[in-house]
Amino acid sequence: MNRFFNTIRNIFKIEDLRKRILYTLLIVLVYRLGSHIVLPGINPGALTAFSKSTQEGLLGLLDLFSGGAFSNASIFALGVMPYISASIVIQLLTLAVPYFQRLQKEGESGRTKINQITRYLTIAVVGVQAPAYIANIVQQYSGAVSPAMIETGIFGFSMFSVTAFILLISGTLFIMWLGEKITDNGLGNGISIIIMTGIIARFPFALEAEFVSRITEMNGGPILFIAELVIMMVIIALCVLLVQGTRRIPVQYAKRIEGNKQYGGVRNFLPLKVNAAGVMPIIFAQAIMFLPLMFINRGGEQPSKFWLSFVDYNGIAYNIVFFLLIIGFTYFYTAITINPQQIAEDLKKNGGFIPGTKPGKQTANLIDDIMSKITLPGSFFLGIVAVLPAIVRMFNVNQQFAQFFGGTSLLIMVGVVLDILQQVESHLLMRHYDGLTKTGRIKGRNSSAY
């Protein structure tokens, strides 16, 4: 306990770290306040039916990622998912379009241009999603909207549709800006922290709902509830191992002579992460799985069974596709994150080599082969954890609580928390303070792979 309080004191002794923590908390507070600002013309007290409809299935998951802003009909209702969708498209383009490949190789200026294109594409995605969200509220929950606001005006659009459309676009862009500010001046990746904040904000409600369900419905009682919490802790520990797991490859550095001194013969290790992609595959896969929602209730027609099967969060079709997408995106994101050829060249330039393997192409092939082998079990485990909520639902676990029982939300929280702790520990060690753990170093999902 003394070590814990000493660590807290050391953290706040470092001025730069203290400012970053307080800045991040301030931005998070602004985001949470904005999540409760309702769109003009909507009566918050009349949103009960809409809130209940967003507790199940994909709508419930979307509400989870937005921290309740979706069910609140907030100006932040669409959250950061449009930005995630746009990022997926841009990253796919970097593999297929020469223009984006050139931008990726141009360093900071290229990344700036890619970020700007991503912002424009985000506006286009919101431009498609916002009308569907507005139409859903007006058609199915018109009682929550002021009658004067939904009267058809100029060009056939109501005042509510126009103002809500503008505010939903502005809200998503503002969240993107908040995320960038956290990344630049705070701790961790801003977009990831905003997603995690929304998830954590829903956890107390999910915990309460599960406890009430077990007690009032005589559905196992408090003993089973405690057992669920224990199992959740075990799953969290496994997720930590998944994020931190590495395969260590021995590296030998050749001898060199400088003046009268001889250096070399040093052995080191090349740590290749079992899950180099982190939680990005599940975020990408989840964004893809949200797409069928755009085809539901469009034009007032009854959706087909095909589309309904892909919005059933607990359905077999949904989870099989989700599982396969995670595996595919794990390989895709690992491929664009880890470049075996670049690692082999860096080793060769620094006089390093893997014993028994020639420097250059053979080293690159060996690293590529090892990455393929360790990525496969990592991607499968990632997929299994992601579909756990659907599995535990078969044991009468409350829908809201099941979303935290493994799944996308838990993996995101574990990955983001480890990233933040890694940054905090780096600041402590640079100032010659003790780290956060007695032995070893915290390895976040963004740790360098070489």
φ, ψ of residue 211 in degrees (nearest 5) = -65, -45
Within 10 angstroms of residue 148's Cβ, the number of other Cβ atoms is 10
> In 3D, which of 219, 225, 233 has the Cα closest to residue 206?
225
Domain limit, last residue, from 186, 203, 224: 186
Is residue 265 domain-shared with residue 399, that is, in the same domain?
Answer: yes
Q: Which two tokens stand for residue 61?
A: 């998951």
* Residue 208 maps to a domain: no
- Tell me, what's the pLDDT at 181? 92
- Most confident segment among 161-170, 205-214, 299-308: 161-170
Q: What is the mean pLDDT of residues 37-64?
A: 73
* Residue 363 maps to a domain: yes
What CA–CA distance (Å, rounded) separates 258 from 82?
56
Is residue 177 domain-shared with residue 245, that is, in the same domain?
Answer: no
* Residue 193 maps to a domain: no
The pLDDT confidence band at residue 313, using thresholds 50, 70 and 90, is confident
What CA–CA distance (Å, rounded) separates 289 from 434?
43
**Which of 63-72, 119-128, 360-369 is predicted least confidently?**
63-72
Is residue 179 domain-shared with residue 217, that is, in the same domain?
Answer: no
Q: Given a cut of 60, is residue 89 above it in pLDDT? A: yes
The strands making up 352-353's β-sheet, listed across from edge to edge, are 267-273, 246-253, 352-353
Is residue 218 domain-shared with residue 299, that is, in the same domain?
Answer: yes
What CA–CA distance (Å, rounded) separates 365 from 381?
25
Is residue 221 domain-shared with residue 166, that is, in the same domain?
Answer: no
The pLDDT confidence band at residue 172, using thresholds 50, 70 and 90, is very high
Is residue 279 domain-shared with residue 369, that is, in the same domain?
Answer: yes
* Residue 200 maps to a domain: no
- Tell me, what's the pLDDT at 448? 36
- Tell me, what's the pLDDT at 316? 85
Q: Given a cut of 90, is residue 174 above it in pLDDT? A: yes
How many residues does this entry show for the chain?
450
- 325-334 per-residue burial string, b: 16 or more CB within 10 A, e: under 16: bbbbbbebbb
Is residue 368 domain-shared with residue 418, that is, in the same domain?
Answer: yes
Is residue 173 domain-shared with residue 218, that is, in the same domain?
Answer: no
Is residue 179 domain-shared with residue 218, that is, in the same domain?
Answer: no
Is residue 244 domain-shared with residue 128, that is, in the same domain?
Answer: no
Is residue 271 domain-shared with residue 363, that is, in the same domain?
Answer: yes
> In 3D, which of 232, 228, 197 has the Cα closest to residue 385?
232
Using a cut of 0.85, tell me whether the model's pTM lies above it. no
What CA–CA distance (Å, rounded) separates 388 from 393?
9
Q: What is the mean pLDDT of residues 326-351?
A: 84
* Residue 227 maps to a domain: yes
The pLDDT confidence band at residue 25, using thresholds 50, 70 and 90, is very high
Is residue 288 domain-shared with residue 163, that is, in the same domain?
Answer: no
Q: Which two tokens stand for residue 75?
A: 């100006």
Dihedral sign of CA atoms 13, 14, 17, 23 in order: positive
SS (H, E, C) 393-434: HHHCCCHHHHCCCCHHHHHHHHHHHHHHHHHHHHHHHHCCCC
Give 263-271 contacts, CB < 8 A, sequence gap 24+: 264/351, 268/352, 270/343, 270/347, 270/354, 270/367, 270/450, 271/246, 271/247, 271/449, 271/450
* Residue 442 maps to a domain: yes
For the domain that residue 365 is a member of, what is the CATH number? 1.10.3370.10
* Residue 204 maps to a domain: no
- Domain extent, residue 245, equals 213-450
- Tell me, what's the pLDDT at 450? 29
**Which of 66-80, 138-152, 224-238 is predicted least confidently?**
138-152
- Tell me, what's the pLDDT at 298? 52
Q: Say how many domains are in the chain.
A: 2
* Residue 197 maps to a domain: no
